[in-house]
Structure 1
Amino acid sequence: MSTFEVRQIVLSTDNLDESIAFYTETLGYQLKFRDGAHYAALDGGSVTIALATAVDHPLPGKTVVGIKTPDVDAAAQAIEASGGAIVKGPYNDAHERRAVVYDNKGNGLVFYSPLPR
């Protein structure tokens, strides 16, 4: 089993309220969490559908895959060594250690691991 778990898809929005309404009313997703007017997490089953404005989006305007891993630093180094690029990080935010990267074809990924409590 891989230590890299796809847990989140981050989508861009310029209007969080409209996007939440679209995904909850049209597709029936349940809102799990909302952070002001910038970020919301919807229950997509085994994967969270995240909606983010440019303020909280790791790569505004792009779809990004969120991958949980126990070693963010090693994951970022592996991406870079294999022809990808580190966009930001590794760094700690309020809740997680993260690295924003592009794979070798320019697709956006965010590696993350919860910080110890």
Structure 2
Amino acid sequence: MKIGHIIVPAGDLDAQLAFYSALGLTTKFRDGDRYAALTDGAVTIGLADASQQPVPGQVVLTVQVDDLDALLVDRPEIPVEVGPHERRAVLTDPAGNPVVLYERLPS
């Protein structure tokens, strides 16, 4: 298990890239105006437009896990979504903050 990245809603990707770059973060990649990833070398921040936000309008912590099914065995009510690169489930912590657990799909 490891912290995957923190997803931050982005209305104006260019402006947010400029802001976080000025703080010293390095752009890892950019996918048009939909998504960009920045890092300090340890943590990745994903700037996401509405189409790329797992919980619209909220900052989301993502955690990569080895076995998503094992972690959700006692929570069958939580749906698992399958994307092109991962399987994921959205949970909330006790304070109501969204957390995405995800398992990479084999390439």
Give TM-score scaled by structure 2 length: 0.87
Structure 2: stretches of 5+ with no match in the other structure: none
The residue aligned with 1:99 is 89
What CA RMSD, in Å, does the superposition of the two structures yield over aligned residues? 1.9
Query: Hey, what does 1:21 align to over in structure 2?
Result: 18
Correspondence for 2:37 among 35, 41, 62 = 41
**Match for residue 71 of structure 1?**
67
Residue segments in structure 1 that go unaligned for 5+ positions in a row:
none
> Partner amino acid for 2:54?
P
Pairs aligned (count): 107
Deviation of 1:69 after TM superposition, in Å, equals 0.1
Q: Secondary structure at the match of 1:20?
A: helix
Contact 1:40 1:52 in 2 (8 A): yes
8 Å CA contact retained: 1:90, 1:97: yes
- What's the % identity of the aligned pairs? 42
Equivalent of 1:55, from 48, 51, 55?
51
Amino acid at match of 1:51: L
